[in-house]
Amino acid sequence: MSRYDDYKREVLTVSRRLSQQGYFGTKSGTAGNVSMLIEGEEAIAVTPTRMRYDVMQPEDICVVGFDLKPIEGPNKPSIETPMHVAAYRVRQDINAVIHTHQTHASAISILNRPIPPLFDEVTLAIGEVVDVVPYAPSGTQELHEGVVSKLTNRCHCYLIQNHGAMCVGRDLETTFTYVELLEKTAEVYSLALATGQPITTLPPAAVRQLVAVVMARQDREIARKNALTTAEARRA
Ligand SMILES: [Zn+2]
């Protein structure tokens, strides 16, 4: 038993669901990666590299510090672990990161165009624009820096050019729904683009209202974490 067991179980459960539903690009491969921030620590629980999700067990999930040093687990963490850590460093409002190779988002990623605000319920969940992180090979510093440069837009979903997508959120279940919403939006956007007809986006006033709700939610999570840190500092 370890204090990280609950995190490991949750990372595995959501990873398996993503894999079974094809969000990692294949249902039997090892692509994609999932992580959760360990509350109150500069550490994450993250999926291991090159291991099939259907054989993965909770004890296979790695616990790694922000300094990338292993804390627990027998396996090598995902090569995209530095990208996950970089995301947690930049975005205080997030506690989960999912990197996928999902089909329709990948289609838009090869068009190299951001997805504009198209639907109320999607913008209310994921923010204004799904921006594109420029292409760089997997696991490289260049790719991680590209992700960090886009994360400041406070959205919850990103396309990675000629690669896939990344979703971030306040918990893993919510982030899973962002993966689904991104896929739905990307599919509808692809269908609409294929017609060659002009596309209508949400009116700017509506977008402003929806984004204000998203940011207020993020601010509440940042305030909750700051209150925890202050309480811990007082106890110390
Ligand atoms: Zn990938």
Question: pTM for this structure?
Answer: 0.96
What is the mean pLDDT of the segment spanning 33-61? 96
pLDDT level of residue 26 (50, 70, 90 thresholds): confident
Residue 24 has pLDDT above 80, yes or no: yes
Residue 227 has pLDDT above 90, yes or no: yes
Looking at residue 17, its pLDDT comes to 97
Residue 220 has pLDDT above 80, yes or no: yes
**Does the 5-235 domain belong in CATH 3.40.225.10?**
yes
- Distance (angstroms) between ligand 1 centre and the Cα of 153 equals 21
Instruction: Specify the amino acid at residue 17.
Output: R
| Mean pLDDT, the chain, whole residue set | 96
pLDDT level of residue 232 (50, 70, 90 thresholds): confident
- Distance (angstroms) between ligand 1 centre and the Cα of 52 equals 14
Q: Name the residues annotated as catalytic.
A: 80
Looking at residue 155, its pLDDT comes to 98
Instruction: Please state the domain extents for the chain.
Output: 5-235
- Distance (angstroms) between ligand 1 centre and the Cα of 166 equals 9
For 1-68, give the DSSP string: --TTHHHHHHHHHHHHHHHHTTTTSSSSS---EEEEEPTTSSEEEEPBTT--TTT--GGGSEEEETT-
What is the mean pLDDT of the segment spanning 83-111? 97
- Distance (angstroms) between ligand 1 centre and the Cα of 206 equals 33
Instruction: Report the C-alpha gap between 108 and 110 in whole angstroms.
Output: 5
Quote the distance between the C-alpha of residue 29 and its chain's center.
Answer: 19
Looking at residue 230, its pLDDT comes to 87
Query: Which structure tokens are listed for 132?
Result: 């594109």
CB atoms within 10 A of CB 53: 22
pLDDT level of residue 139 (50, 70, 90 thresholds): confident
Looking at residue 131, its pLDDT comes to 98
- Give long-range contacts, CB 8 A cutoff, 24+ apart: 6-9: 7/36, 7/38, 7/45, 7/61, 7/63, 8/45, 8/58, 8/59, 8/61, 8/63, 8/73, 9/58
- Distance (angstroms) between ligand 1 centre and the Cα of 61 equals 18
Over the stretch 155-197, which tens digit does the pLDDT of each residue have? Answer: 999 999 999 999 999 999 999 999 999 999 999 999 999 999 9
Instruction: Report the C-alpha gap between 63 and 47 in whole angstroms.
Output: 9
